[in-house]
Amino acid sequence: GAESQKPPPGKWWTPPFDPRFPNQNQTRNCYQNFLDYHRCQKTMKRRGKSAQPCEYYFRVYHSLCPISWVQRWNDQIKEGTFAGKI
Amino acid sequence: TLMIVFLISSLVLYIISLMLTTELTHTSTMDAQEVETVWTILPAVILILIALPSLRILYMMDEITTPTLTLKTMGHQWYWSYEYTDYESLCFDSYMTPPLELDPGELRLLEVDNRVVLPTEMSIRMLISSEDVLHSWTVPSLGVKTDAIPGRLNQATLMTSRPGIYYGQCSEICGA
């Protein structure tokens, strides 16, 4: 879906500790926030509300996920071959 | 080293032969409660004094701190790429400087063309992965070594207490 290229301005440091993913393997942390961002966008758009609250998920996945992964997933979303449920 | 082996084994054999060929026998020692108590309690105390700080350090290793910066590194054959994406997207590749291109005084096999720059005295979250095969990212002087596995994002925490240049070498066989 549509994704801002530059993160929005404002006070942001880095993703805080997420107790759902307390261990060394942060793969799911990155992937889950990516999914949550797109799901949030889709839901907000469907309800006609502003997608501003979704920016948190964007910032988290933007900080955590390797750029190549994000690019690959975005391409898959465009082609309709993305495996996750959005 | 072989000399040391011969030295120690001849010493041990000599002592054994001494033990086996003596005329002296002391057959009436039945108890030695005092010395036995002392050399049981004292080592136990010493071990406890070693164990307590050791356990403290072990648990400190798993402390959860909120980092101030996230740095991603992706292993490639044969260079690392770094991504700083907390704010905007800053990415660059970091190749080892070939020995022939080193300036005088630079360290062989350790210098790189683009160094990672990090703030000191701040907890930094490292996220390490790979774009092709297994690699391993390490900076021994900072106590970090984490495998770079394709498809997996491994987290490590880093904190430098002093400014300086810290070196590391890939620590997983990653050649073709």
Q: For residue B48, is it within any domain?
A: yes
Which of A5, A24, A28 has the highest number of chain B CBs within 10 A, making it the mutation to test binding with B? A24
- B48 plus B119 within the same structural domain: no
- Strand-pairing partners, residue B129, are B74
A21 Cα to chain B: minimum distance (Å): 11
- B101 plus B155 within the same structural domain: yes
Query: Is there a contact between B127 and A13 if contact means CB atoms under 8 Å apart?
Result: no
- B46 plus B96 within the same structural domain: no
What are the E-state strand segments in B40-151? 69-76, 79-84, 90-94, 124-130, 135-139, 144-148
Instruction: Give me the helix-helix angle, A67-79 and A27-47, nearest 10°.
Output: 40
Which H or E run includes B154?
A: strand B154-158
Supply the range of the domain harboring residue B48.
1-8+35-63
Q: For residue B79, is it within any domain?
A: yes
- Strand-pairing partners, residue B11, are none
- Split into its structural domains, chain B has a count of 2
In angstroms, the CA A80 to CA B112 distance is 41
Q: For residue B174, is it within any domain?
A: no
| Residues of chain B below pLDDT 70 | 176
- B58 plus B124 within the same structural domain: no
Q: What would the pLDDT profile of B128-138 be if each residue is shown by its tens digit?
A: 999 999 999 99
A43 Cα to chain B: minimum distance (Å): 25
- B42 plus B73 within the same structural domain: no
Q: For residue B51, is it within any domain?
A: yes
Q: Which residue of A has its CA nearest to B156?
A: A24
Which position has the higher pLDDT, A11 or B67?
B67
- B104 plus B121 within the same structural domain: yes
Q: Which residue of A has its CA nearest to B62?
A: A23
Q: What would the pLDDT profile of B148-159 be if each residue is shown by its tens digit?
A: 999 999 999 999
- B74 plus B58 within the same structural domain: no
Q: What CATH number is given to the structural domain containing B74?
A: 2.60.40.420
A60 touches chain B (CB under 8 A): no
Any idea which residue has 């005088």 for tokens?
B104
- B39 plus B103 within the same structural domain: no
Q: Is the pTM of this model over 0.95?
A: no
Residues 6+ apart with CB under 8 A from A67: B83, B85, B89, B91
